[in-house]
Structure 1
Amino acid sequence: MPALTKRVRFTSINAMYSPIPSTPYAFTTSTATSVSQSSDGSKHSKRRRHSSTLTTHPRPFPLDVPEPITRIHYLLAFPSAAPYQLPPLTYDLCSPATDPPVSSLTITCPYLHWEFPITPMTLASRKGPYVSVRDVIHALYRGLRMAVHPLEYEALPSVETITNVNEAYFSRCNSIVKKKARQEEQAKGVKRVDFLMGRNRFLGLSKKSSTSRKGGSMVWELNVS
Structure 2
Amino acid sequence: MPALTKHVRFSSINALYSPIPSTPYVFTSTATSSSSMSSEGSNHSKRRRHVSKLTTRPRPALAGPEPIVRIHYILAFSPYQHPSLSYDLCVHPSLVSTYIAPDVLAESATDPPVQSLIVMCPHLHWEFPINPTPSKSRKDSYVSVHDVLHELYRGLRATVHPSEYEALPSVEAVANVNEAYYSRCNSIVETKARLEEQAKGVKRVDFLMGRNRFLGLSKKTSRKGDSLVWELNVS
What range describes the TM-score normalised by the shorter chain of this pair? Answer: 0.5 to 0.7
Residue 197 of structure 2 corresponds to residue 222 of structure 1: no
Call closer, same or farther: CA 1:147–1:100 in 2, change over 3 Å. same
**1:191 pairs with 2:203:** yes
Runs of 5+ consecutive residues of structure 1 not aligned to the other structure: 12-70, 78-86
Higher helix proportion, which one? 2
The separation in 2 between residues aligned to 1:224 and 1:143, in whole angstroms, is 15
Structure of higher CA gyration radius:
1
Runs of 4+ with >3 A deviation = 123-126
Task: For 2:173, give the aligned amino acid.
Answer: T
Q: CA deviation at 1:88?
A: 6.4
Secondary structure at 2:111 match in 1: coil
| 1:8 has 2:28 as partner | no
1:75 to 40, 50, 74: 50
User: Where do residues 12-51 of structure 1 align in structure 2 (5 Å cutoff)?
Assistant: none
Structure with more contact order per residue of length (Cα contacts < 8 Å, sep ≥ 6): 2
CA distance in 1, matches of 2:211, 2:100: 29
Residues 58-116 of structure 1 deviation map (CA, whole Å, 9 limit, x = unaligned):
xxxxxxxxxxxxx8424179xxxxxxxxx961111000000000000000000110000
Please state how far the C-alpha of 1:190 moved relative to its aligned partner: 0.3
1:125 Cα deviation from its structure 2 partner: 4.5
Deviation sequence 1:20-57 (CA, Å, 0-9, x none): xxxxxxxxxxxxxxxxxxxxxxxxxxxxxxxxxxxxxx
Partner SS for 2:102: helix
Q: Is the 8 A contact 2:116 2:131 kept in 1?
A: yes
Match of 1:113 among 106, 125, 130: 125
Relative distance call for 1:88 and 1:177 in structure 2 (3 A) is: closer
- Secondary structure, aligned partner of 1:112: coil
User: Equivalent residue for 2:115?
Assistant: 103
| Structure 2 Cα separation of the partners of residues 94 and 200 of structure 1 | 24
Identical residues among aligned pairs (%): 68
Tell me how far apart the structure 1 counterparts of residues 159 and 47 of structure 2 sit (CA, whole Å).
Answer: 38
Partner Cα separation in structure 1 for residue 47 and residue 187 of structure 2: 29
* Amino acid of the structure 1 residue aligned with 2:144: S
Aligned pairs, how many?
A: 151
CA–CA separation in structure 1 for the residues paired with 2:47 and 2:131: 33
Is 2:149 the partner of 1:137? yes
Structure 2: runs of 5+ lacking an equivalent: 12-45, 53-98
Could you tell me which amino acid in structure 1 is paired with residue 126 of structure 2?
W
Change in 2 beyond 3 A, CA 1:177/1:220: same
SS of residue matched to 1:203:
strand
In structure 2, distance between residues paired with 1:165 and 1:131: 31
- Secondary structure at the aligned position of 1:208 is classed as strand
User: What is the deviation of 1:152?
Assistant: 0.5
Deviation for aligned residue 1:6:
1.9
Paired position in structure 2 for 1:90: 102
Report SS of the residue matched to 1:219: strand
Q: 1:172 deviation in Å?
A: 0.6
Distance in 2 between residues matched to 1:136 and 1:221, nearest whole Å: 12
